[in-house]
Amino acid sequence: MIPSSTQRLSGWGRYPAEDCKVFRPEKRRSVHEILDSGQEPHYIARGLGRSYGDTAVNGGGGVLSTVRLNRMLSFDEESGILECEAGVSLAEILEVFLPRGWFLPVTPGTKFVTVGGAIANDVHGKNHHRDGTFGAHVLDLTLLTPGGDVIDCSPESRKDVYWATVGGIGLTGIILTAKIRMQRVESAYMKVDYRRLKNIQETLATIRETDAQYQYSVAWVDCLARGGALGRSVLLLGQHAAPNELWPGTGDPFGARARKKPGVPFDFPGFALNPLSIRAFNGAFYAMHPSRDGKIIDYDSYFYPLDAVNNWNRIYGKRGFTQYQATFPTGKEDGLVQLLERLSAASCASFLAVLKRFGPEGKGLLSYPFEGYTLTLDIPMREGLLAFLSDCDRLVLQYGGRLYLAKDMCMSADSFAAMYPRAGEFRKVRRELDPKGVLSSRMARRLRLAEDTTS
């Protein structure tokens, strides 16, 4: 028997949770032994569990944690190409390479995600409009299939496997290693221009006008504001700062270090978060951020404000929360406005929502981003929420929009099929790589990407 432990696992939103058998291999060669052992009916890889929903949850089956497969394998100082195991986290990469002048090509809003997780969800950052997804900077990867083959694939060789795996939510195999092209930067600081915008129309117009001039662009939206203030926001427009732009006396331009983190020591009671307290928070944020140019802030505060508090997901209490992320195509902004109206009217208590513009769609068969506007917000679990969200899903569909698998926990298989038109192609590649259905997850079964072999 290969050692495993039973753990109640969920995504970052803490809902839904299921009992899974967790395996923690330390060597790449042990991964195939686990998949081949037949100990569990099916398996799914799991990185740092930062997806919000059920993509790395596998009740009644095995979960293969990759966090011990975290070796850096090589780095080319000239080209910035890093080869590492899939369990290396973005935080570990930054710690080693930022002081040497290299930054991640794309980063999500937390650095506590693994390279494998970043590829399997083909994550995006505040620079999608310019630089695309994480997968666009992966030069090649090695994939262990359930049958025991190790496939070296890239945009040039075994393209079918590569584009099914980039964004493939762990269902094509276990990513063992990847080569990533890093970007060179001149400091660990960001130069940020702020724009305080009075409603959704002004927000969308300003994003459109400014996007091309900035590498990073994201708006924090007060989604509890109503009427003429619906969608009021603070837009943050960022660039990596040059050494001569830093404050005098800054010293080492790479001297900014990740902050020490206080934690949330217990689950907050349900009443702590309510529309009143959140309205006050959102209002204060808006008031405190007037338009201004050229503020210098360290990379950690700019890219990862939420990482400053350990286990911040506990503030939503034991019932947990979901993160709803919907993208509307360019020209269908009316859908976005309607969604905001619906959320605001339902007082879906949420701290600031995030709005950004995506650039062109990538090639990953299940990759999420496509050209348009994407809105993301946290919603605490409560009675009736699932029905409310399925109404929102219908609205998103009606406008040709799409929900993000890294965040989702309840979309129906039919909505998924309508939102992800390349799912058929994905299934075909998956059948070739995993004919016996060894890989599965709660999400895969829910979205009919894998058979339910437990019931």
Least distance from ligand FAD to the Cβ atom of residue 220, Å: 13
Which range touches ligand FAD (CB under 6 A), out of 168-176, 229-237, 249-257, 281-289?
168-176
Q: Which residue, 165, 146, 150, 176, is CA-closest to 34?
A: 146
Q: Rounded to whole angstroms, how far apart are CA atoms 408 and 420?
A: 14
Shortest Å, Cβ 335 to ligand FAD? 21
Q: Which two tokens stand for residue 64?
A: 């293969």
Instruction: Please give the Cα distance from 107 to 286 (Å, whole number).
Output: 25
Q: Give the nearest distance from C-beta 187 to ligand FAD in angstroms.
A: 22
**Min CB(161)–ligand FAD separation in Å:** 12
Task: Select the residue interacting with ligand FAD from 121, 145, 206, 233 (CB under 6 A).
Answer: 121
Choose between 86 and 104: whose C-beta lies nearer to ligand FAD. 86
Among 14, 46, 111, 430, binds ligand FAD (CB under 6 A): 46
Q: Whole-angstrom distance between the N-terminal and C-terminal Cα of the chain?
A: 24
217 binds ligand FAD (CB under 6 A): no
Shortest Å, Cβ 430 to ligand FAD: 12
Do you find a cis peptide bond into 146, omega within 30 degrees of 0?
Answer: no
Q: Using CB under 6 A, pick the residue from 110, 127, 142, 177 that binds ligand FAD.
A: 110
> CA angle, 445 as apex, 440 and 451 as ends, to 5°?
75
Question: Please, what is the angle between helix 200-210 and helix 333-345, to 10°?
Answer: 140
* Total residues binding ligand FAD (CB under 6 A): 32
Among 60, 62, 108, 372, the residue binding ligand FAD under the rule CB under 6 A is 108
- Of 15, 35, 43, 55, the residue at the interface with ligand FAD (CB under 6 A) is 55
- Min dist CB 233 to ligand FAD, Å, is 16
Binding mask 379-408 for ligand FAD (x = CB under 6 A): ---------------------------x--
Closer residue to ligand FAD in complex, CB, 230/303: 303
Closest approach of Cβ 346 to ligand FAD, in Å? 23
Closest approach of ligand FAD to the CB of residue 378, in Å:
9
CA distance 114 to 141: 14
Which residues ranging from 255 to 314 are in contact with ligand FAD (CB under 6 A)? 306
Nearer to ligand FAD, 121 or 415 (CB): 121
Q: Does 374 bind ligand FAD (CB under 6 A)?
A: no
Q: Contact at 8 Å (CB) between 343 and 350? A: yes
Distance of alpha carbon 130 from alpha carbon 214, whole angstroms: 9
Axis crossing angle, helix 385-398 with helix 333-345, rounded to the nearest 10: 160
CB crowding 431-452: b at 16 or more within 10 Å, else e: eebbeebbbbbbbbbbbebbee
User: Where along the sequence are the contacts to ligand FAD (CB under 6 A)?
Assistant: 12, 44-51, 55-56, 66, 86, 108-110, 113-114, 116-118, 120-121, 123-125, 169-170, 174-175, 306, 406
